[in-house]
Amino acid sequence: MILVGFMGAGKTSVGRALAGELGWIFEDLDDRIEQREQRTVAEIFRHAGENAFRRAEHSALQELLRELTNQSERIIALGGGAFIQENNSRLIEAAKVPTIFLDADVDELWGRCSRQMEALQTERPLLGSLENFRDLYESRRPHYRKASFTHSTTGKSVSEIAAEIVRRLGLHSKSRKRGDSH
């Protein structure tokens, strides 16, 4: 299952929670890019530019999808721009991996990113001003809506969202399976 959505949507934190709940493997595409390139996403943007980042992102996605098998129990979080690139969404469609668009009010997305930046010193090269953030969100939203499911996260905690997705997709949590067996 692939999680898509804008910066601050919770793709990584919800992805980790979902993987924990289901006993699946979690993977973040940005982490794979950083490992392959041996530098951070922010450094790639700074030194090589966005186009170079998009090329690295596409080839990391290609590699990741090649590793998936039908039985792959994996939750994959994409960076906010990955699903917008047509060459990426085509690959995902061809791989037949279900996608979930995690959505939220743009003001809440902005708030989450700002808080993360302060608390964790996370660097997001495309954060910009609130006005640019809003424009970028509006222009991307129709693309995210092409995901198999849209799930609203406004006002919800990470664990709440993960539990809702497990229920919505009829998946079984690890703990439930254990409970069911006696």
The least CB distance from residue 167 to ligand S3P, in Å, is 25
Q: 145 or 167: whose CB is closer to ligand S3P?
A: 145
User: Which residue, judged by CB position, is nearest to ligand S3P in the bound state?
Assistant: 79
The alpha-carbon radius of gyration of the chain (Å, integer) is 16
In the complex, least distance from residue 65 CB atom to ligand S3P, rounded to whole angstroms: 17
Write out the residues near ligand S3P by the rule CB under 6 A. Answer: 7, 11, 30, 41, 79-81, 124-126
Q: Closest distance between ligand S3P and the C-beta of residue 42, in Å?
A: 7
Which residue, 11 or 74, has its beta carbon nearer to ligand S3P?
11
Nearer to ligand S3P, 20 or 125 (CB): 125
Closest to ligand S3P by CB, 37 vs 173, is 37
CB of 74 to ligand S3P, least distance (A): 17
